[in-house]
Chains A and B, each alone.
Chain A
Amino acid sequence: MVDKKVITELSEIVGEEFVSTKQDILLAYSVSASMASDAVLPGAVVRPVDTEQVSKILQVAARYNIPVTPRSGGSSLQEEVIPEPDGLVIELMRLDKIKLHKELRSVTVGSGVTYGVLEKFLKEHDLFLPVYPESALVCTVAGNVAVNGAGPGSSHFGCTGELVLGVEIVLPDGKIITTGSEANPYSPGPFQRYSFGPDITGLFIGSLGSFGIITKVSMKVFKRHKYYDHNTFGFETHEQAEQFMVDVKQNDINGVFTSLYEGPVLELFMDMIGEELGVPKYEWPFRTVSMTIGRVREDMMRSDAELAKKLCEKHGGHVIGISQLPYQEWNGRLWFFVRACYVHGWHWRTLYHHQTPINAHRSVEEIRDVMEKYGFLGHTAGFASGHSSFNAYPHLYFDPQDPEDEQKIRDAHKELAKTLFKTGAVPFKLAPYWADAIEGMDNYMAFLELVKKTIDPKKLMNPRVLGGL
């Protein structure tokens, strides 16, 4: 229970309508899109409309020592937004302003702006923010910055964090700072992240709301690609496929989305949604790389597409030539994956992580091992996610109405985090369960703890993440 006095103060800040302690509302905020995780009832939920309100709310929380969970879309999958018992959820969807800085090739969005909303806005200006989490219709840009996400577009443009130019942050004590070039009050806008010394912006990327609340985030935007090539490439060994992916990057081929699939996994998915997506029936090989090349100029696209075919053959692969799969992955990027994730009816837990492309098969092997050991269904696929990394997204399936099945997945998930860590994989973010998985990082964790203590001495901001520092 949050004290009545606190609720009165919060109501004075946001208006009575936007504070709630109603049982049904608290229950709805006790969960997120994270499956197979325990619900935790908060004590109150508040929905501020602007930065000043957020600042005042954090001051109240600090004064009364109430733990705070910042929440935007609520679409996170790794328990990052599950509240604290009797804590305060600050829901940020009402901060919905968008400001374009056309000449600076950047945009500033409030923390309630989703990718879907921004995509529509930018399209009118022939621009795009070229990295889209697969949950783009629900998740916010600020939320994805807070989790250090990635998605379609990352294969060329890197993770979401790499597109950030600066953030406006409300610190745990209520102070407001702006990072990047906009730290200078005379700045014409966000144009340079690396300014005034250390990369303070970076501190908040992937911080899961544990250092403060992002109220605005400024992102690089790009002219929309006009020319695309969609193609699929088949390989009989994982080495061939992985080397091909490395070579694609090495040769500056603009694969905006380059996915890697295991044959049986692709077959399973295409059996379920191939027809719906218009992907022709095909006996998919051991490994398939599905790639969309995007360019603003046609000659560049053509040249990239030709070279990709040559590289495929050079590495012992064959050009499959089915374009519908990568076409749907890219053109339907706001929808395709959600549909693919839900069509089969199972619930799943995921364990997002980065590998190097040449290590992609290690993630496949590890998930296979836990599947065998615990006896459940699952898979992993992934996509190139930057300079030299590969984002794997293992799914561990369970029956939502079978508690035993769910427990099995929880256990397997824990174990998989540990074994993946040992393959050299890295998580984007320190979601709760990674704390048990990491080892040999004592100095790193001690330093992180020092940072946390300095910024949030009362440890009120989303205390469950960053290994519960």
Chain B
Amino acid sequence: MTTIDLDELLENLAQCRRCGICRNAVYEDKGFDGVCPVWKNSAGFETSFMRGRIQVALALLDGRLEKTEENAESLFSCTLCGNCTSICAAEFDPAKCLESVREVLNEIPNAVRDTIAKKILENNNPYVDENKTRRDWVKEVGFDIPGTGEVLYFTGCTAGLKLPETAKSTAKVLNAAGVNFAVLEEEPCCGSVMIRTGMVEEAKKNAEKALEMIAKSGAKKIVVTCAGCLKTLREDYSERFGLDVPEVLHMVEYLKPLIESGKLKLKKSSEIKKITWHDPCHLGRALGVYEEPRDILKAIPGVELVEMETNREAAMCCGSGGGLRSYDGNLAKKIASDRIQDAEAIDADILATACPFCEHNLKDGANRIGSKIRVVDILDLISKQLQ
């Protein structure tokens, strides 16, 4: 079963004119210095960027290409970053179409995708067997965080289980702003990766379960620190699954007015130097949140915000999205190194972002090339500047 209208999808795919602009367009007026991070960092055959992916998708859909894991590779070697959509002059959204193709063709075997979905359904997260450990960080913040409340901090799997510093920082910042907030006793995965990799039926089941748990917490507002959770909870739950979700805000959206109104005061740090902002694809291109994090960074006394050559709608991706980090970890890290080099090119000391998934991959990318750039989550930065 699929939620996709196949005729509509084919009509959309037919909008591709095979122009190839989504490969490596360099167009200063629109801020592009290249388009597809996969094309740039892989062997670079046609199937490594959207033009070829669409041809493969069409051939798999109409039977010209046999539905095998090997033939479907290019459907998955894509971060769904949406940079191709940003530059495409035709009247359709190629990245969104590819996501739909993954769903329609999810009978094609793909061990990586299936394992992730299975783990999420079984363990409520894609990483570990014992999901309870994702709340361990709460013990280290120095104050109690209830499991119920009107403002819910939905930590996300990556912050909860891989980068708990971000979760701790968020808690500290919310506490400093005088916000009473809750963290679920046993938080589920939002299911983003299942949606992106085409396991939408499973994602729906997961979403219903997650929403039930959220509802039990009494949340009227959900704050998140993960761009993927944001897009999924805010957009996919309602638009795809018709679920009624409380208001969902990324912390950068939530904090901006608190900082501007003086409720949250930030002190100067001598340590902070030149900071650049990496736009997570799900926060920026997908939801249009570009200025809030920049405004926050500029509000930190002593910070010099510098922009990488590609930013906002044309920002190059970190390499981890769309399931690519699981599907081809080396490629994902190579893309991350490339993004780190963008930051190096402008002599940034710190690359800040607002997505633990980006942060995790960018850190690996920095290590891979021995870069001295510090990759930090914006919440970690803010928490260090609390007055």
Contacts and interface: CB of A to CB of B under 8 A. Distances in A.
Contacts of B90: 342
Contact of A28 (B17, B32, B47): B47
Nearest to A112: B24
Contacts, number: 126
Residue from the set B46, B59, B70, B74 with the largest chain A CB neighbour count within 10 Å? B46
28 contacts: A22-B47, A24-B65, A24-B72, A27-B64, A28-B45, A28-B47, A28-B56, A29-B46, A31-B18, A73-B20, A73-B23, A75-B19, A93-B24, A114-B24, A114-B26, A135-B19, A137-B21, A138-B19, A138-B20, A138-B23, A331-B29, A335-B29, A341-B89, A343-B89, A345-B15, A347-B17, A401-B11, A401-B14
Contacts of B91: 342-343, 345
B33 interface: yes
Contact of B45 (A25, A114, A116, A332): A25
Contacts of A120: 26, 28, 33
A33 to B, nearest CB: 5
Interface of A: 17-18, 20, 22-25, 27-33, 35, 45, 47, 73-75, 91, 93-94, 114, 116-117, 119-120, 123, 135, 137-138, 331-332, 334-335, 338-339, 341-343, 345, 347, 400-401
A27 B59 contact: yes
B15 A74 contact: no
Contacts of B11: 401
B56 A27 contact: yes
B44 interface: yes
B55 interface: yes
Contacts of A119: 26, 28
Contacts of B45: 20, 25, 28-29, 45, 47, 91
A27 B10 CA distance: 18
Residue from the set A20, A117, A339, A342 with the largest chain B CB neighbour count within 10 Å? A342
B218 interface: no
A339 B89 contact: yes
Interface of B: 10-11, 14-15, 17-21, 23-30, 32-33, 43-47, 51-52, 55-56, 59, 64-66, 70-74, 87, 89-91
Given A75-B19, A335-B29, A24 B71 contact: yes
A335 B28 contact: no
Contacts of A17: 43
A448 B78 CA distance: 45
Given A22-B70, A45-B45, A123-B28, A27 B65 contact: yes
B46 A74 contact: yes
A220 to B, nearest CB: 21
A24 B21 contact: no
Contacts of B24: 93, 114, 116-117
B55 A31 contact: yes
A75 B51 CA distance: 11
Contacts of B14: 347, 400-401
A47 to B, nearest CB: 6
Nearest to A34: B18
A259 B230 CA distance: 48
Nearest to A401: B14
Contacts of A347: 14, 17
Q: Which 6 A-B pairs have the closest CB atoms?
A: A28-B52, A28-B46, A137-B25, A116-B26, A138-B20, A400-B14
B20 A24 contact: no
A75 B66 CA distance: 27
Nearest to B19: A33
Contact of A335 (B30, B33, B52, B66): B30
Contacts of A341: 17, 89
A342 B91 CA distance: 7
Contact of B44 (A32, A47, A74): A47
A138 B21 contact: yes
Given A45-B45, A116-B26, A339-B89, A27 B20 contact: no
A29 B55 CA distance: 9
Contacts of B43: 17-18, 20, 47
Nearest to A333: B29
Given A33-B19, A338-B19, A93 B44 contact: yes
Given A28-B52, A117-B24, A342 B29 contact: no
